[in-house]
Structure 1
Amino acid sequence: MSTTRVTPARLTAGPLTLRPWAPEDAAVLAGLYEDEAMRRWASAPVHDEPSAARWVAEQRRGRETGERLAFAVEETEASDARPAGHVVLKRSAATAATAEVGYWTAAHARGRGVAPRALTALADWAFATFAREGMTRLDLLHQVDNTASCRVAGKSGFVLSGLLPAAPPAFPLDGHRHIRRASRAT
């Protein structure tokens, strides 16, 4: 799919470290998904430790193909060792110019700016890493009733560009498309 070899072990964003998900994260991930908001907004099929282990394995396979570059987000200064969130870059073989980003924040880390910092770091890294392949745009999609995602998008340099029609079951309500262009990367 890609001519650029992607092997980032870690990215940093101030007090955050973004690192690949690991098999030993499965139990903690299952615990994070006990939160009602996580189950509502995150589309991952995580219900217990075995499903969390499958999800982590899918992230590894996505990294190997270069189509899904997912990172666990950790707060380096926090006493809590659980991941504070997740960010992902979803790349398609169809176009190198555009990719999609996604994220979630664990309940124990919400309201502390984790998502905007992690998403900004991911976007900056993506534009720098895939510039030679022509990546110029990142899309962030969310349901219209997810107002927190609108705030995170704006804080991360993504501009609202339009409405998307519902596409059940994965996207049951109308949505927003936010775009960040490479020229905004620093």
Structure 2
Amino acid sequence: MSIVLRAPATPVAPELLLRPWCDGDADALLAAYRDPVLLSWTRHPVTTRSEARAFLRRSRQGWAADRRFSFAVLEPTPEGERLVAHVVLKEVAPGRPDAEVGYWTAAPARGRGVAPRAVDAVSAWAFSRFAAGGLTRLELLHQVDNPASCRVAEKSGYVFEEVLPARPPFPRDGHRHVRRRD
């Protein structure tokens, strides 16, 4: 994939590079999922090499189908780059006015503004790329007991819209945040 997005540097944080996942990301993906906090919030944990290969395969398939776009979010380090987050745009379809954005942040990157900048970059890209197909609204959903996700939504331009009742596979009520195309 040749798509590369950038989230600009801030006075206290370096620029972020967002790109499609590649096979070489398996070890970083597995390392991120060793975090018990990430495991507690995800429906599809990646804890084995086989699960990492399946995650990466699904990511490629989503891009190929032009319906689901998963980005590895990388931060520069003196040694190269390290994985700090994941952002996904899902449920994109021509003529459909809405889609969903999801994300997670690796433990060492939490609280540093990584997730809002990465979500903002993918959201802006989505509106730009799919405006001609009718995309006018993005949703970000999370469980009510995840206040950090509320802060990420707000910082990345998503406005709280409503509480959603719990429904499988989600055990708790959730929040729907919405960002509209300008």
Secondary structure, counterpart of 2:96 in structure 1: strand
CA distance in 2, matches of 1:80, 1:49: 23
Query: Are 1:97 and 2:91 counterparts?
Result: no
2:177 maps to: 178
1:10 maps to: 4
Query: Are 1:117 and 2:111 counterparts?
Result: no
1:3 maps to: none
Deviation, 1:10, is 0.5
Aligned residues: 176
CA distance in 1, matches of 2:92, 2:175: 20
Query: Are 1:167 and 2:154 counterparts?
Result: no
Alignment of 1:131-170 (within 5 A): 131-169=131-169
The runs of 5 or more residues in structure 1 that have no matched partner are 1-6
1:42 maps to: 42
Deviation, 1:78, is 6.1
Runs of at least 4 residues off by over 6 Å = none
Structure 1 residues 80, 109: closer, same or farther in 2, change over 3 A?
Answer: farther
2:11 maps to: none
Deviates more, 1:133-142 or 1:88-97: 88-97
Is the 2:137–2:181 contact (alpha carbons within 8 Å) kept by the matching residues of 1?
yes
CA distance in 2, matches of 1:158, 1:78: 33
TM-score using structure 1 length: 0.89
CA deviation map 1:70-103 (0-9, x unaligned): 1000113565733100001002448521000000
Deviation, 1:53, is 1.2
TM-score using structure 2 length: 0.91
CA distance in 1, matches of 2:6, 2:179: 20
Structure 1 residues 8, 153: closer, same or farther in 2, change over 3 A?
Answer: farther
